[in-house]
Amino acid sequence: MADQIRVRFAPSPTGYLHVGGARTALFNWLFARKMGGKFLLRIEDTDRERSSPEHTQVILDGMAWLGLDHDEDIVFQGAGLERHQAIADQLIESGHAYLDDGATRFRIPDESISWDDAVLGNVTFDGAGIDDLVILRSDRTPTYNFSVVCDDIEMKLTHVLRGNDHTSNTPKQIAIYNALGATIPTFGHVPMIHGIDGKKMSKRHGATAVGDYRNEGILPAAMRNFLSLLGWGTGDDRELFFKAEELIEAFSIKGIQKKAAVFDPAKLEWMNGQYISHMKPEDLYPLVSQGLSAEGLTPEAKGKERLMSAISAVAERARSVHVIPERVALRLNPQTISLDEKATGFRNKNVEAFNQGLSLSLECLDETDEPWTPDVIGDQLKAAALTAELGVGKLMQPIRIALTGMTVSESVTDLLPLIGKEESLKRLREALNWD
RNA sequence: GGCGGUAUCGUCUAGGGGUGAGGACGCGGCCCUCUCAAGGCCGAAACACGGGUUCGAUUCCCGUUACCGCUACCA
């Protein structure tokens, strides 16, 4: 039986989780979960200037938000200092490294170094063209390429899936593995993520941190799904994986692309909308409960059923989770309606017709004793429109605007019962008095 | 500069020696319809360039170009 697969994600705690790093973490996680292996986390905190527990926490929060749970204890690279130093000294003794101006330099052999990359295929470098690298600075702190190898060995990794920017580091690291007599893991270099201009993702492109998208109302599952499709494909046309298990099941290193992928926010938004509208309101609720509570919108205050139907009415048209609380409040809390730009435009086009529509609607809605259900309301409004020889839209759109201040909403016949008779009629009357 | 990598619609991708080069986002149109969203249908939109190999290359090989990365006592 083959050894259990062990992979890792090894971020530097720089204060935010970059989407590129998150995507690399995601691939490792998917691979580990798919293969029944272990997904480990190592914090590369050797740069003491930039590292802090707060920065580390940001990374951890980002991972947790995306649902990328890790196995075993988190490894802090800084804790391995003495071990790294000892290994470097050992390399001097074995003749693989030498002292140079106080630093310890590793000797790259003059031979061809190649490996079978899990995504790139066979890659070959000529060791003669690679400079000997410093592994221990003159202050005896280890450098990146060296500590990575020491820790990857220590953590018994079987696969190293990392960003494509490390491809050129790999021959150096392989030479160190060889000098140490260690087993070389399978390397896989996953493509970079670029901004819309084809350049490396940076602040110029706007949001680059996972936390930014969280703040913009992106759902973690949507983010995960979107990120997975950057540089990876199933081979068929499948794009939506609403459950993490489906994504894990579909994942394969074989489907990883070699070229860099451009991050397209428009597609992320579309995907987020897909997630929001496909989710049951009960599942959506925990993700927006904080915002809802701030508006006094709790199941206790509004009734669970009513709250859920408001959420689901609103979610159907939302591409960000952000708009949900305010729009639910618009329906379930008493409001004084103010018009948005489009609604103002619609009314101004013909104020008289607008008011006529409202009066007619008010008349038939106010006088009825029948229950306020979508069917009954629909029938009554249609009948009223027919009598007045108007299209139903001439009644519906003014009602919609009177109730919400917007030109867009769920069907008016659903909207009225949701808001409730008393509040609805109040808003309709107020709308007649708009100037 | 040297070394390494990459190259299919604007973007994410499928495919692969003979295809009408498929899907998705976005864009345009139509249907549905009280608006929007969702959904359905339709449309515009791609094999970087030049040489080979071959009966036939977008696919294989070589070169060019472009882009990315490494070339630090950064990570």
- 3 state DSSP class of A211: helix
Nearest nucleotide to A137, CA against C1' atoms:
B73
Separation in Å: B60 C1' and A159 CA: 31
CA of A343 to C1' of B36 (A): 13
For nucleotide B34, give the residue with the nearest CA to its C1'.
Answer: A393
Contacts of A356 (CB under 8 A, 6+ apart): A394
Nucleotide nearest to A411 (CA to C1'): B34
Measure, in angstroms, how far nucleotide B20 C1' is from residue A122 CA. 36
The pLDDT averaged over each successive group of 10 residues in chain A (435 residues) is 84 90 96 97 82 88 96 94 96 96 95 94 93 95 96 97 95 97 96 84 79 94 96 90 94 94 94 94 93 95 94 94 95 93 90 93 82 90 90 93 95 95 94 88
Residue lying closest to nucleotide B36, CA to C1': A408
Nucleotides of B under 7 A from a protein CB: 2-8, 10-15, 22-26, 34-39, 67-75
Distance CA A20, CA A190 (A): 10
Which amino acid type is present at position A405? G
| Predicted TM-score of the model (pTM) | 0.93
**Three-state DSSP state, A93:** helix
CA–C1' gap, A190 and B20, in angstroms: 34
Kindly provide the residue ranges of all beta strands, DSSP E only, lying in A240-290, ordered along the sequence.
261-262
Could you please report the per-residue DSSP string of A119-159? TTEEEEEEGGGS--EEEE-TTSPBPHHHHHHHHHHHTT-SE
- Three-state DSSP class for A7? strand
Residue A420's Cβ-count burial label (10 Å; 0-12, 13-18, 19+) is middle
Which nucleotide is at minimal CA–C1' distance from A50? B75
Report the protein residue whose CA lies nearest the C1' of nucleotide B23: A237
* Alpha carbons A179 and A174: distance in angstroms, whole number: 9
How many residues in chain A? 435
Protein A97 CA to nucleic acid B71 C1', in Å? 20
Q: Per 3-state DSSP, what percentage of chain A is helix, strand, and coil (rounded to 5)?
A: 55, 15, 35
Distance CA A8, CA A154 (A): 12
Distance A130 CA to B3 C1' (A): 8
Looking at the C1' of nucleotide B11, which residue has the nearest alpha carbon? Answer: A264
Minimum-distance residue to B69 (CA–C1'): A165
Nucleotide nearest to A77 (CA to C1'): B75
As a rounded value in angstroms, the CA-to-C1' distance for A122 and B62 is 19
Closest nt to A124 (CA→C1')?
A: B4
Half-sphere exposure of A92 (CA within 13 A, CB side): 15
Q: Which amino acid is at A297?
A: L
Paired sense of beta strands A75-76 and A97-100, if any: unpaired
In this complex, which residue's CA is closest to the C1' atom of nucleotide B66? A198
For residue A13, which of A70, A68, A75 has the smallest C-alpha distance? A75
Distance A425 CA to B52 C1' (A): 80
* A407/A341 Cα distance (integer angstroms): 9
Q: What was the pLDDT predicted at A281?
A: 94
Query: CA A120 → C1' B58, Å?
Result: 21
Of all nucleotides, the one whose C1′ comes closest to residue A278's CA is B38
CB A314 within 8 A of CB A273: no
Q: Which nucleotide is nearest to A392 (CA to C1')?
A: B34
DSSP assigned state of A262:
E
Bridge-based pairing state of the strands A6-9 and A112-117? unpaired
Separation between Cα atoms, residue A378 and residue A361, nearest integer Å = 11
User: Tokens 């062990």 correspond to what residue?
Assistant: A6
**b/e per residue A167-186 (b: at least 16 CB within 10 A):** bebbbbbbbbeebbeeebbb
Q: What gap in Å lies between CA A279 and CA A282, rounded to an integer?
A: 8
